[in-house]
């Protein structure tokens, strides 16, 4: 029984002992096709950059290839220092030789100067290796090299010289296989890591644009998520395939290491601030303030400390980083408890991301883990973020649509009641920009437009019919005003004032088109059996001062100037002279600039030492008036000259040829009354001021 136990113990001892002392790596063709990591046992030679193993005794035999600071120097009993040179020797045995295809070896995350030799020939070299550390040029790369094996059995020597890295040695096992297999894997990983880095950077830029675009109410969560993504993207380019190391070969390795470490501090600080904006009610304020201080200090130390000292500090920081991840998970737990929107999805996503960041930090500092994976876990995190946003958008879609429709309706009503165009006269684009002390002086044209007979009709027509009639009338006129860049000052009963601040010609053209529009409108009313409505238009031009009047409860844009009462006076005189459109002398130059010949002088209005010369705009349909303009103005000349007999003959002749000329009838009536006054003292009516 004891013999059986001894035999069993011996067999178990052999099972444990064989892999410890084995140094040969047997590689079959099937393994070469798939590619394989070198068997994790080798000989270690400290302080030597071997070309061959002949006659040299290893410092350590049958050890697992690792960073040499994890080994104990048998001579001193202490770990090997980080700075120095060493060689790792693997014995390779192929099951078939010669091989049909070239082989290749790939090394990941080399952080020192490295040279790999097979059969006395250099397969690949990273940086410039040297026994003299002052001549050393280090590099951080993931690279590969091809070769033909020199024999069925050969030694693969990995020389490493380290000055900057705080560990030194092999971080990950070299990968060996056929050249086609290894190169395909290498290119795929390189492309994948480049795409991941670029995608993360694009996401950072996207969130930065979202932050910048909202100038009125910026969401700082976007800014700090952009910083977080940028930091992780930067680390993605500085780890694993080392894309940025390849793109920046002449940048000092110490600087690149500092940037890589600083990216961790920036990412940790940014994610805490992002949480502050995401779940503010569940925040631990003391922890947040501590994190802001620690990460700011860490970034500053990255700038001033040498890499070796920074490495020791970073190792301490990793403990704090684990504590940070724990607090953030508790933070998320509180959000889950309070049933914050999408908190469950965000917790799962953050847990995955936190595991990736912790893995990277442990791998970078202690060589523990499978490699750098935070760029991939961030991609998963961002995918979850997209799902969260999609859920939010889908749940908000209906309410947003309803709010948009409601807002559009309010905006339409708002635009109808708020005089935006009048505000522009004051140099104000938006009502909220008003300060209440704006004013502006402008040279404008004004049309006073009235619909007749509206007052009398309002007493006979039912209110709802009157409302329908007025709205129908206004809807036909407003587009005409807008086409000629007119601004409607307001409505007062049957009258509306139209302003033309750009040029006076717009007022003349608008007055003519308003006449033809209302005529066409009347034809439709006549066919429907309704009473016709007619426009009376009076126009004037001059300076006006625009300003804001009112208080906080009611404000209004108003214009002050003689041009407004002048336009209304001219409009009141128009029906007396039978004119559909009458203008003052200040507006007459616009007619001349338009080169129109359908205007005649019809008299002067005088009141309070103010004289307004009046000009009638004749429509093209009134051919009789157009053909007799000269005769009318000649008769009017005799009237003003006091030659009443000649004036009487002239106006009588005009009425004989055009009985509908109301202005000629008006002046003939005045002449007869003037003559009668000398005989019987008859009073003059109407408008005694009209000379």
**What is the token pair recorded at 298?**
């860490």
Please report whether residue 230 resides in a domain. Answer: yes
Q: In terms of domains, do 202 and 239 share one?
A: yes
DSSP 8-state secondary structure symbol assigned to residue 579: -
Do 373 and 252 share a structural domain? yes
Parts of the chain with a pLDDT under 50: 1-7, 9-22, 455, 678-688
Residue 486: phi and psi, rounded to 5, are -90, 150
What range does the domain containing 497 cover?
436-621
What CATH number is given to the structural domain containing 585? 3.30.70.1230
pLDDT of residue 521: 80
Give the chain's domain count. 4
Residue 598: inside a domain, yes or no?
yes
Q: How far apart are CA 33 and CA 421, in angstroms?
A: 78
* Whether residue 377 sits in one domain with residue 293: yes
Task: Return the pLDDT at 268.
Answer: 87
Judge contact between 207 and 385, C-beta under 8 A.
no
Q: Which of 584, 599, 621 is the last residue of a domain?
A: 621
Is residue 419 in a domain? no
Continuous segment of H or E residues that includes residue 498: strand 495-500
The pLDDT value recorded for residue 297 is 92
pLDDT computed for residue 393 by the predictor = 55
Indicate whether 639 belongs to any domain. Answer: yes
Q: Are residues 202 and 316 in the same domain?
A: yes
- Asked if residue 185 is part of any domain, the answer here is no
What's the CA gap between 638 and 691, in Å, rounded?
12
Q: 585 and 663 share a domain?
A: no
In this structure, the answer to whether residues 125 and 264 fall within a common structural domain is no
- The reported pLDDT for the residue numbered 559 is 72
Identify whether 16 is part of a domain: no
Q: Which residues contact 476 (CB under 8 A, 6 or more apart)?
A: 517, 518, 521
CATH of the domain at 90: 2.60.120.260
- Which residues on adjacent β-strands are paired with residue 544? 442
Share of the chain above pLDDT 70, in %: 78
DSSP assignment of 30-73: HHHHH-EEPPS-EEEEET---S--TT---SEEEE---BGGGSBP
Same domain, 493 and 640: no
3-state DSSP call for residue 341?
A: coil
Judge if 161 and 258 occupy the same domain.
no
Residue 190: the pLDDT is: 86
Residue 1: the pLDDT is 44
* pLDDT tens profile 249-304: 778 878 888 888 899 899 888 888 888 887 888 888 888 889 889 999 999 999 99
| Structural Rg of the chain based on CA atoms | 48
3-state secondary structure 653-666: HHHHHCCCCHHHHH
pLDDT of residue 15: 42
Task: Identify the domain boundary among 394, 421, 450.
Answer: 394
* 497-529 per-position pLDDT tens digit: 888 887 888 888 888 888 888 888 888 777 776
| Cα separation, 116 vs 344, whole angstroms | 49
| 250 and 385 fall within a common domain | yes
Q: Considering the domain boundaries, does residue 9 fall inside one? A: no
Per-residue confidence (pLDDT) for residue 2, from 0 to 100 = 47
- What confidence score (pLDDT) does residue 637 get? 87
Do 291 and 359 share a structural domain?
A: yes
The pTM of this model reads 0.51
The per-residue pLDDT for 160 is 93
461 with 606, same domain: the answer is yes
Q: 342, 362, 394 — which closes off a domain?
A: 394
Task: Looking at the structure, tell me whether residues 365 and 346 fall in a common domain.
Answer: yes
The verdict on residue 254 lying in a domain is yes
Please tell me the distance from the alpha carbon of residue 258 to that of residue 247, in angstroms, as a whole number. Answer: 17
The whole-number pLDDT of residue 14 equals 40
């Amino acid at each position: 029984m004891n013999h059986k136990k001894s035999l069993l113990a011996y067999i178990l001892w052999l099972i444990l002992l064989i892999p410890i002392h084995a140094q040969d790596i047997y590689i079959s063709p099937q393994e070469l096709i798939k590619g394989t990591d070198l068997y994790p046992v080798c000989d270690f030679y400290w302080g030597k950059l071997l070309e061959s193993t002949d006659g040299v005794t290893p410092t350590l035999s049958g050890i697992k290839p690792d960073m040499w600071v994890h080994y104990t120097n048998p001579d001193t009993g202490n770990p090997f220092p980080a700075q120095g040179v060493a060689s790792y020797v693997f014995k390779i045995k192929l099951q078939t030789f010669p091989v049909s295809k070239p082989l290749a070896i790939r090394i990941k995350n080399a952080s020192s100067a490295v040279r790999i030799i097979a059969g006395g020939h250099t397969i690949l070299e990273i940086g410039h290796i040297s026994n003299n550390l002052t001549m050393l040029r280090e590099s951080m790369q993931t690279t590969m090299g091809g070769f033909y094996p020199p024999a069925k059995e050969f030694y693969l020597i990995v020389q490493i010289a380290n000055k900057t890295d705080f560990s030194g040695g092999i971080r990950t096992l070299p990968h060996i296989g056929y050249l086609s297999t290894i190169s395909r894997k290498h290119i795929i990983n390189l492309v994948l890591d480049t795409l991941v880095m670029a995608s993360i950077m694009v996401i950072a830029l996207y969130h930065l644009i979202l932050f910048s675009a909202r100038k009125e109410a910026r969401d700082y969560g976007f800014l700090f998520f952009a910083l977080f993504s940028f930091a992780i993207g930067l680390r993605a380019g500085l780890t694993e395939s080392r894309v940025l190391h390849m793109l920046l070969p002449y940048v000092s390795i110490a600087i690149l290491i500092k940037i890589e470490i600083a990216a961790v501090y920036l990412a940790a600080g940014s994610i805490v601030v992002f949480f502050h904006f995401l779940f503010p009610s569940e925040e631990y304020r003391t922890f947040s303030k501590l994190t802001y201080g620690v990460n700011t200090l860490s970034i500053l130390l990255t700038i001033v400390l040498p890499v070796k000292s920074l490495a020791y500090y970073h190792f301490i920081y990793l403990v704090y980083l684990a504590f940070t991840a724990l607090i953030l998970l508790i933070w998320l737990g509180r959000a889950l408890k309070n049933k914050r929107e999408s908190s469950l999805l965000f917790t799962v996503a953050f847990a995955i991301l936190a595991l990736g960041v912790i893995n990277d930090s442990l791998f970078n500092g202690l060589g523990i883990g499978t490699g750098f994976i935070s760029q991939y876990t961030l991609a998963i995190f961002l995918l979850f973020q997209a799902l969260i946003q999609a859920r939010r958008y889908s749940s908000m879609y209906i309410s947003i649509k309803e709010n948009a429709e409601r807002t559009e309706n309010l905006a339409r009503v708002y635009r109808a009641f708020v005089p935006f165009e009048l505000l522009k006269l004051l140099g104000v684009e938006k009502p909220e920009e008003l300060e209440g002390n704006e004013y502006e002086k402008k040279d404008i044209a004004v049309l006073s437009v009235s619909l007749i007979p509206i007052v009398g009709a309002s007493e006979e027509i039912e209110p709802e019919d009157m409302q329908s009639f007025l709205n129908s009338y206004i809807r036909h006129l407003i587009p005409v005003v807008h086409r000629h860049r007119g601004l409607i000052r307001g409505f007062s009963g049957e009258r509306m004032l139209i302003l033309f601040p750009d040029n006076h010609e717009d007022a003349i053209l608008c007055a003519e088109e308003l006449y033809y529009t209302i005529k066409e409108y009347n034809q439709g009313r006549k066919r429907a059996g309704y009473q016709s409505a007619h426009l009376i238009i009076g126009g004037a031009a001059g300076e006006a001062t625009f300003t804001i009047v009112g208080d906080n409860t009611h404000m209004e844009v108003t214009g002050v100037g003689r041009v407004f009462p002048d336009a209304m006076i001219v409009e009141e005189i128009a029906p007396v002279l039978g004119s559909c459109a009458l203008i003052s002398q200040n507006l007459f130059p616009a007619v001349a600039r338009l080169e129109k010949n359908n205007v005649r002088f019809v008299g002067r209005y005088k009141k309070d030492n103010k004289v307004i010369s009046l000009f009638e705009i004749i429509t093209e349909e009134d051919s009789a008036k157009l053909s007799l303009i000269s005769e009318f103005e000649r008769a009017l000349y005799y009237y003003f000259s006091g030659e009443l007999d000649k004036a009487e003959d002239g106006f009588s002749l005009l009425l004989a040829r055009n009985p509908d000329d109301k202005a000629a009838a008006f002046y003939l009536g005045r002449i007869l009354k003037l003559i009668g006054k000398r005989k019987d003292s008859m009073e003059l009516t109407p408008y005694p001021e009209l000379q």
